[in-house]
């Protein structure tokens, strides 16, 4: 045990000397990283401060924030650029929808966004919850938090609970925001800097699906960790190129900008739970791999125990961490594994 601790200390010393740190929280060095997806969203409406507090109490290593901007350009924590799947916007502001029938956060001031009630995710057409075993869709009083409010809560609990739980903000739809005349990355990075997140030593990983935006984030001078989110097996590395396969060569291109990738689960393990070569290719290029999203209340075909996915993704496929709606299940799996 002492030897293991010494080795970890040694890794931290060497990493500090090299100007890098292991990609997990220092207190969890060498362990798998459990990322609370939209907070403890399996139990409390996603991205509410209540869901954040619960994820913190569960002992997740990182807590995720999806970030969009209000009309007055305040970063708020919300998964979509439109409001109707998780709020009562259609009732409170019925005439504010656009021609496509959607209510966009960027059309509402922060004060207006704060007047909305947040609820469990529903299909806006039917009003029915997507997952009926979760928090009842039509009950509870919750608000959209600003990014700052959420960082204050996490840092406050890190202090009072003597923890070092990290943040994992995602820049949402940078092109949409640019079309609205605003640079979301620039605004979010300023908030992160204000709260002490600007280097690879800080417990913050910024994620984005948009490859050109990740490069832009580096041009803006951000030196912290970046994760490139991947929804499919192929991508364009620039606007004019043809889509390329993800393999060791393209992973090395990604590694020039990003520290890791965030692939969909099915890119890491197939429907029969057989690992693909994605994690190995990423690791050869020095990238960490944090797939999304394990939901223990959503069974895949043939699933007997969805919590087995933690073993499939983290042990069998060898990913470094995983996003999950049930961070307690991830932490429990990790604790039972290390006993
Ligand atoms: Ca996200």
What is the reported pLDDT for 30?
A: 65
- pLDDT digit of tens for each residue in the chain (339 aa)? 344 444 444 444 444 444 444 444 444 556 899 999 999 999 999 999 999 999 999 999 999 999 999 999 999 999 999 999 999 999 999 999 999 999 999 999 999 999 999 999 999 999 899 998 999 998 999 999 999 999 999 999 999 999 999 999 999 999 999 999 999 999 999 999 999 999 999 999 999 999 999 999 999 999 999 999 998 888 777 777 788 888 888 999 999 999 999 999 999 998 888 999 999 999 999 999 999 999 999 877 777 787 899 999 999 999 999 999 999 999 999 999 866
Q: Considering only CA atoms, which of 149, 182, 154 is closest in space to residue 168?
A: 154
Question: What is the CA(8)–ligand 1 centre distance, in A?
Answer: 30
Question: What is the CA(23)–ligand 1 centre distance, in A?
Answer: 19
Q: Considering only CA atoms, which of 144, 92, 82 is closest in space to residue 119?
A: 144
Question: What is the CA(109)–ligand 1 centre distance, in A?
Answer: 23
Question: 24-338 belongs to which homologous superfamily?
Answer: Phosphatidylinositol (PI) phosphodiesterase (3.20.20.190)
Please state, as a whole number, how many other Cβ atoms lie within 10 Å of the Cβ of residue 262. 28
For the entire predicted model, the pTM comes to 0.91
* Residue 119 among the catalytic residues: no
Among candidate residues 37, 47, 56, 290, the one labeled active-site is 37
Question: What is the CA(262)–ligand 1 centre distance, in A?
Answer: 10
Q: Give the pair of three-digit tokens for residue 247.
A: 């393999």
SS (H, E, C) 101-164: CCCEHHHCCHHHHHCCCECCCECCCCCCECCCCCCCCCCCCCCCCEHHHHHHHHHHHHHHCCCC
* Residue 73 among the catalytic residues: no
What is the reported pLDDT for 337?
A: 84
Among candidate residues 28, 47, 79, 290, the one labeled active-site is 79
Domain boundaries, the chain: 24-338
Question: What is the CA(66)–ligand 1 centre distance, in A?
Answer: 5
**Cis, bond preceding 293 (omega within 30 deg of 0):** yes
């Amino acid at each position: 045990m002492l030897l293991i601790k010494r080795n970890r200390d040694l890794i931290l010393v060497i990493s500090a000397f090299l100007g890098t740190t292991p990609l997990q929280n220092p207190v969890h060095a060498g362990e798998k990283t459990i990322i609370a997806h939209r907070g403890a969203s399996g139990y409390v409406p996603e991205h509410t401060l209540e869901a954040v507090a619960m994820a913190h109490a569960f002992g997740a290593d990182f807590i995720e924030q999806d970030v969009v901007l209000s009309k007055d350009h305040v970063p708020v924590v919300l998964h979509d650029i439109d409001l109707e799947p998780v709020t009562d916007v259609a009732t409170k502001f019925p005439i504010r929808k656009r021609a496509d029938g959607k209510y966009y956060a960027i059309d509402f001031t922060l004060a207006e966004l704060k007047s909305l009630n947040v609820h469990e995710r529903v299909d806006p057409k039917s009003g029915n919850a997507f997952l009926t075993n979760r928090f009842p869709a039509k009950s509870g009083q919750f608000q959209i938090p600003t990014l700052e409010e959420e960082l204050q809560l996490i840092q406050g609990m890190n202090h009072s609970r003597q923890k070092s739980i990290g943040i994992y903000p995602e820049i949402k739809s940078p092109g949409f925001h640019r079309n609205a005349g605003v640079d979301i990355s620039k605004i979010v990075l300023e908030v992160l800097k204000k709260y002490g997140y600007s280097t690879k030593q800080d417990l913050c990983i910024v994620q984005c699906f948009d490859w050109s935006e990740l490069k832009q984030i580096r041009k803006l001078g951000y030196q912290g960790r970046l994760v490139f989110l991947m929804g499919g097996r192929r991508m364009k590395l620039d606007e004019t190129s043809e889509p390329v396969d993800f393999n060791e060569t393209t992973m090395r291109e990604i590694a020039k900008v990003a520290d890791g990738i965030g692939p969909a689960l099915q890119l890491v393990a197939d429907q029969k739970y057989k690992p693909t070569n994605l994690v190995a290719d990423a690791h050869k290029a020095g990238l960490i791999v944090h797939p999304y999203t394990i939901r223990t209340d959503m069974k895949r075909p043939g699933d007997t125990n969805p919590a087995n996915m933690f073993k499939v993704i983290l042990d069998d496929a060898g990913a470094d961490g995983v996003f999950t709606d049930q961070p307690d299940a991830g932490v429990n799996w990790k604790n039972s594994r290390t006993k």
